[in-house]
Amino acid sequence: MRAFNAELSKLISLPGIWLALLIGAFAPAAIAALDSIAQKEEIIAGVSTRLSEVGYIGLALGVQGVIILGVLAVSSEYLTESSESGGGQQITTSLTVVSSRIHFLLAKAGAVTVISILLCIAAIMTTVSATHLILGEYAPAFEWSRLIGAVCYWTFTALLALGITFLTKNGIIPLAVLIINSSVVSFSVLLYRVTKLAFYLPDRAGAEMFMFTDNTSTGSLFDGFHTPFTGGLVMFAWVVVVFIVAAIVFHRRDVAA
Amino acid sequence: MSVSSSRKITQILGAELDKLVTLPLIGLTLMVTFILNLGLAAAFTSVDLQEAAGTQNILNTGLSSMGYLQAGFIILGILTTCSEYTGGQIRTTLTTIPWRGFQLSTKYLALAIITIPAASITTASGVLYTFIMMKDTAVVIEIDEMIKSLAGATGYLTLTTLLSAAIGALLRRTTPALVVLLGYYFIVSPLSKDFLHNTKYFFPDTAGYYMFMPPSSDEINVLTPMEGTGISMLWTLVFITAAIVFYRKRDA
């Protein structure tokens, strides 16, 4: 518990965290607002097709905030300080204090999970109010099951980012891969046209939790492949696998270098 | 000791090139980018081959991966400038080369020297793969059109790399620079295309798109390759100038 508190306080005091929190809390609302404006024109013209997705698109893309959170939580530990201040890494101090590596990993994951959930709730609030403000009576109904799906998607994505960064020790690769993959031009969108296996990639499967519902046969962007529940399970399986690999590698690896 | 200025330039350029070549992440980035690009070209080719034969354009397919490919070059640019600031290398650099504007300009020159061959090899390999796989089914293309597109793609990637290096020098931290640039190129820009109708052609990535895309008959080509190059180059120059101005004024 004390390790968890320490991780939480380390996370909150990171300078880069403000970027993550700002993006996480407000980008979904901004995207949803822009989309709502476009939708309003279509509603007035009577050609609206994908009204039920308006707010959720913001939540699907705004996941960037927690990606930064997850990556920074680990990569900041491995950042080498300047030679004037000893050229050390925070990770050596962290592991001196919490000498069980598994405890350290779990405490970090716990801190990231808590912040991700809170951030997603904040994002949902801003997004729902933005869509209601702009669309008024046309605003889509926000169902609890889908919103919980969005919270799970954010949390799992943050944990994936954390796990991958534990493997690479450097924030660049996980940031680049995850940011691109959660954007409009995701690799999965390309790959599922080649092979059906792409539906089992974490971002595609995870998005099933809230993006694709059964009743949106009316021109939804993509048709659902899994049910929301199996989608969540597939993504959770990815998180578990990445964590097991990260735990093994982290347990066996030297801290320095 | 006074050193003649031409000798100085070659020495600084040599030092900057040395720093770039010995940075392990740079080589890794270029290699991963190259391999990923081949994989993406394969994916795009197999998607296009599933569609009706005889309608594909080899260049369009071979260059479809450009959208992803630029990520590697954005990382390259950011690494080049931000690596100076991790661990205080910048102070050693400035002790040896106290002419700041000069030093940063040669850094960009060194970066361009590395980027141009890397970009042309990477794009050419993607197009070559598509060419080999699709030569039976696709429309025949002229060789000079292909060279023009490849040159455009190389130019676009080089300008993007230099732009990223300029942003990296302005922000001086890897993570924020990466978030800002990737966020712009992969999220803001694709999303805002629907909302901005006329102004979008003046943004660096959309203008750059016209540098390498072969003219197609389906859609109206708003910009000629030359205009696209001009606008992209202007953006890069503006950011490089800003980077140099701030670099000269700011505490290291």
CB spacing of A185 vs B67 below 8 angstroms: yes
Angstrom distance (rounded) from CA A124 to CA A114: 16
Range with lowest mean pLDDT among A181-190, A226-235, B66-75, B162-171:
A181-190
pLDDT for residue B63? 79
Nearest Cα to B21, choosing from B103, B118, B99?
B118
Listing DSSP states for A53-90 in one string gives GHHHHHHHHTTHHHHHHHHHHHHHHHPBPPGGGTS-BH
Cβ proximity of B177 and B82 under 8 Å: yes
Cβ proximity of A116 and A71 under 8 Å: no
Residue B183 has pLDDT above 90, yes or no: no
Cβ proximity of B248 and B101 under 8 Å: yes
Residues 152-191 of B with CB under 8 A from A: 173-176, 178-179, 182-183, 186-187, 190-191
Angstrom distance (rounded) from CA A39 to CA A50: 8
Range with lowest mean pLDDT among A167-176, B80-89, B156-165:
B80-89
| Predicted confidence band of residue B186 (pLDDT cuts 50, 70, 90) | confident
Tokens 């890794």: give the residue: B28
| Predicted confidence band of residue A219 (pLDDT cuts 50, 70, 90) | very low
Name which of A61, A83, A172 is nearest B174 (Cβ-Cβ): A172
Whether chain B has a CB inside 8 Å of the CB on A191: the answer is yes
Tell me which chain A residues have a C-beta less than 8 angstroms from the C-beta of B182: 175-176, 179-180
Percent of chain B predicted with pLDDT > 70: 88
Angstrom distance (rounded) from CA A139 to CA A136: 6
pLDDT for residue B161? 94
Residue A238 has pLDDT above 90, yes or no: yes
pLDDT for residue B198? 67
CB spacing of A64 vs B183 below 8 angstroms: yes
**What backbone torsions phi and psi does residue B161 show, to the nearest 5 degrees?**
-60, -45
H or E stretch including A124? helix A101-135
- β-bridge mates for residue B139, sequence order: B57
Under DSSP, the state recorded for B214 is P
Tell me which chain A residues have a C-beta less than 8 angstroms from the C-beta of B50: 193
- β-bridge mates for residue A80, sequence order: A89
Angstrom distance (rounded) from CA A66 to CA A116: 6
Tell me which chain B residues have a C-beta less than 8 angstroms from the C-beta of A84: 88
**Higher local confidence (pLDDT), A121 or A40:** A121
pLDDT for residue B158? 93
How does pLDDT run across B90-103, given as a tens digit for each residue? Answer: 888 888 888 888 88
Whether chain A has a CB inside 8 Å of the CB on B40: the answer is yes
CB spacing of A84 vs B174 below 8 angstroms: no
pLDDT for residue A62? 84
Residue B107 has pLDDT above 60, yes or no: yes
Is B106 strand, coil or helix? helix
Percent of chain A predicted with pLDDT > 70: 90
How does pLDDT run across B204-240, given as a tens digit for each residue? Answer: 888 888 888 766 655 566 677 888 888 889 999 999 9
C-alpha distances in Å from residue A15, one per residue of A93, A179, B31, B181:
19, 20, 32, 19
- Look up the pTM and report it: 0.85
Nearest CA in chain B to A41: B195
